[in-house]
Structure 1
């Protein structure tokens, strides 16, 4: 079984495609191969010509599935589906085209779309994480984001949340990391505060690729600022209990409403300070649907 992934080069989008590919690889009885092709290698005019020839030199092997994530991949996925009509087209987002033009649209629940024969609804975006069952008791990870198009960083709120986590878990090993959106001044202020002595601080610039996913496998609980939506769902997928650190909002939309819905879920235990236990395995669930309906 061969998968062609039409890539826009964005790491977050690639993570979704890799997550679904690896889940299909785990579940399939036959070998599953993966070919990534950048959109620059698939000019629209060339694809239009290729629909008449039923082949294109850009694709090394005839695909069984064609994946796309990102607005600029949609038309190319559709055209590749015409070049290789035996392949199933899978777009991992709410598409700009009619849903029925794709075999499957994999859409996060917060986009407000109804499930159908062509639409698979997921909790959050897909990711390549699996729960490796290596979580260590009393090990906590704090992952900080920053300002975004819908959030404004609030140092006072974040410091108060970290203080509460430290006080509530006096025996815990608490690892804290930042993101590229975290203000530089925040770490300087944190290091000057008494809180620093209770934390193992790893600025994002000092962490190698994959470091945070490994930390999620070891943490019993993960606290994430609410702007980092992908990381919240990655922590759920890793099997962690998850706490959301609230910061200021610039606007209300489906994403913030989804965060509010998470915050309204029952907590694990009263003494665990708002931790949510929502075990997710969405990539495996979607892979199961695709493989089950492969010949349909």
Structure 2
């Protein structure tokens, strides 16, 4: 990344950041895919402006020196900054979500399917949030287990998850398990006391930065609690065979519906199918939503 004040020699893709890692990961996923197609471009991370400053820039835009070709943002706090910098640079804007402002304000919206939007010229529907994962050429026979926690989309049942994890770890693979910031500490403590053969339990806070990005692409199989929907899409993009544990869905949850859709299309394997002998498999076609969207952007002539 380069400082916002640095003058660039090549055309630039600007990423508006609200400081939230999940939102930045989505924007970088699209930017990475664009760079694979146009490696001569630069990427610049730009902090989102406070709303008063953004409104000032909308009314009296500055005279920037960068050759900005495209602006990308995710997160409601980036919306006004995207519009202000579009006026300053005169380049297209892409927002990676259903925006809180009218969609017509932006040149393109890329909305995850679970947001419930409809595909049209200015709104593309992606299968889940975009991400930075890429499959690895070298893949081990080991597996990952990723656990979330209480969420608005599924009823948390730690005891049921522990039973499923015990059934999964049947000696055929070595497994690494990581919780998240949402995982109740008592869940990991109880799981560790079971001393399940072949299972290593990690505290997410104790893992080095980038651990998941390193381990996921080289893992053969990944099982995920369904509340961690973004991890499901990252595991698919990384080229893993993906399974989801069973938790009761909250009524009306679009995220739960999206997970059900992935199961129905046999992109992921639900645990109840695994329990009857159905093993997760890698999807026949590569799951590469960021690359698909990047190709469509180039076909529009924006870079």
Find the aligned partners of 2:242 and 2:86 in 1 and give their Cα distance: 39
Could you say which residue in structure 2 is the equivalent of 1:21? Answer: 31
Deviation at 1:276? 5.2
Could you say which residue in structure 2 is the equivalent of 1:111? Answer: 115
Aligned pair partner of 1:64 in 47, 65, 69 = 69
Find the aligned partners of 1:96 and 1:205 in 2 and give their Cα distance: 32
Kindly indicate whether the alpha-carbon contact (under 8 Å) linking 1:4 and 1:37 is maintained by their aligned counterparts in 2: no
Find the aligned partners of 2:51 and 2:29 in 1 and give their Cα distance: 23
Aligned pair partner of 1:152 in 152, 155, 158 = 155
Kindly report which structure 2 residues correspond to 1:99-178, keeping only aligned pairs within 5 A, or say none: 99-137=103-141, 139-167=142-170, 170-178=171-179
Superimposed CA distance per residue, residues 149-172 of structure 1 (whole angstroms, 9 cap, x where no aligned partner): 2233211210111012113xx221
SS at match of 1:259: helix
Find the aligned partners of 2:136 and 2:89 in 1 and give their Cα distance: 37
Find the aligned partners of 1:216 and 1:18 in 2 and give their Cα distance: 18
Kindly indicate whether the alpha-carbon contact (under 8 Å) linking 1:175 and 1:200 is maintained by their aligned counterparts in 2: yes
Q: Report the more deviating stretch, 247-256 or 286-295.
A: 247-256
TM-score (norm 2): 0.86
Kindly report which structure 2 residues correspond to 1:232-251, keeping only aligned pairs within 5 A, or say none: 232-251=232-251
Could you say which residue in structure 2 is the equivalent of 1:186? Answer: 187
Find the aligned partners of 1:14 and 1:146 in 2 and give their Cα distance: 22
Kindly indicate whether the alpha-carbon contact (under 8 Å) linking 1:28 and 1:291 is maintained by their aligned counterparts in 2: no
Find the aligned partners of 1:46 and 1:293 in 2 and give their Cα distance: 31
Find the aligned partners of 1:246 and 1:111 in 2 and give their Cα distance: 22
Deviation at 1:186? 1.4
TM-score (norm 1): 0.88
Kindly indicate whether the alpha-carbon contact (under 8 Å) linking 2:94 and 2:107 is maintained by their aligned counterparts in 1: yes
Kindly indicate whether the alpha-carbon contact (under 8 Å) linking 1:133 and 1:239 is maintained by their aligned counterparts in 2: no
Alignment gaps of 5+ in structure 1? none
Could you say which residue in structure 1 is the equivalent of 2:290? Answer: 283
Superimposed CA distance per residue, residues 34-63 of structure 1 (whole angstroms, 9 cap, x where no aligned partner): 232332397123212334xxx35xx56241
Could you say which residue in structure 1 is the equivalent of 2:299? Answer: 292
Deviation at 1:295? 4.8
Find the aligned partners of 2:212 and 2:83 in 1 and give their Cα distance: 35
Could you say which residue in structure 2 is the equivalent of 1:255? Answer: 255
Aligned pair partner of 1:4 in 14, 33, 41 = 14
Q: Report the more deviating stretch, 170-179 or 36-45.
A: 36-45
Tell me how large the CA RMSD over aligned residues is: 2.3
Superimposed CA distance per residue, residues 107-147 of structure 1 (whole angstroms, 9 cap, x where no aligned partner): 1112222211111211110111111222212x111011111
Q: Report the more deviating stretch, 264-273 or 8-17.
A: 264-273
Find the aligned partners of 1:99 and 1:38 in 2 and give their Cα distance: 19
Kindly indicate whether the alpha-carbon contact (under 8 Å) linking 2:14 and 2:44 is maintained by their aligned counterparts in 1: yes
Matched positions, count: 286
Kindly indicate whether the alpha-carbon contact (under 8 Å) linking 1:2 and 1:63 is maintained by their aligned counterparts in 2: yes
